[in-house]
A and B are shown apart, each in its own frame.
Chain A
Amino acid sequence: MLKVEVYRYNPDTDKTPYTQTYEVDTEGKDLMVLDVLELLKAQDPTLTYRRSCREGVCGSDGMNINGVNGLACIKPLSECVKNNKLVLRPLLGLPVIRDLVVDMGQFYEQFRKVEPYLQNDTPAPAIERLQSPEERAKLDGLYECILCACCSTACPSFWWNPDKFIGPAGLLQAYRFLADSRDNATEHRLSKLDDPFSVFRCRGIQNCVAVCPKGLNPTRAIGQIRTMLLQRAA
Chain B
Amino acid sequence: MVTNVTSMGRSGVSDWLLQRASAVILLAYTVFIVGYILLTPELDYSQWRALFDQLWMRIFSLLALLSIVAHAWIGLWVVITDYLTERAIGSKALVLRLLAQGVLALVAVTYTLWGIEIIWGF
Residues of chain A at the chain B interface (Cβ within 8 Å): 156-157, 160-164, 191-201, 226, 229-230, 233-234
Distance in Å from the Cβ of B96 to the closest Cβ of chain A? 15
Q: Which residue of A lies closest to B19 (CB)?
A: A200
CB of B31 within 8 Å of the partner chain = no
In the assembly, what is the distance between CA of A211 and CA of B3, in Å? 30
Q: Which residues of B contact A164 (CB under 8 A)?
A: 2
CB of B85 within 8 Å of the partner chain = yes
Number of B residues with CB within 8 Å of any CB on chain A: 21
Distance in Å from the Cβ of B79 to the closest Cβ of chain A? 10
Q: Which residues of B contact A192 (CB under 8 A)?
A: 1
State the main secondary structure of chain A at its contact with B.
loop
**What are 20 A-B contacts with C-beta separation under 8 Å?**
A157-B82, A161-B82, A193-B12, A194-B1, A194-B11, A194-B12, A194-B13, A195-B2, A195-B3, A195-B12, A196-B2, A196-B10, A196-B11, A199-B12, A200-B13, A200-B15, A229-B12, A230-B13, A230-B16, A233-B13
Distance in Å from the Cβ of A1 to the closest Cβ of chain B? 41
Q: Which residues of B contact A230 (CB under 8 A)?
A: 13, 16-17
In the assembly, what is the distance between CA of A160 and CA of B3, in Å? 16
Q: Which residues of B contact A201 (CB under 8 A)?
A: 78
CB of B61 within 8 Å of the partner chain = no
Q: Which residue of A lies closest to B4 (CB)?
A: A196
Distance in Å from the Cβ of B12 to the closest Cβ of chain A? 4
Told that A162-B87, A233-B13 touch, could you supply 4 new A-B pairs with CB distance under 8 A?
A156-B82, A160-B82, A198-B1, A234-B13
| A interface footprint on B1-32 (CB within 8 Å = 1, 0 otherwise) | 11110010011111111000000000000000
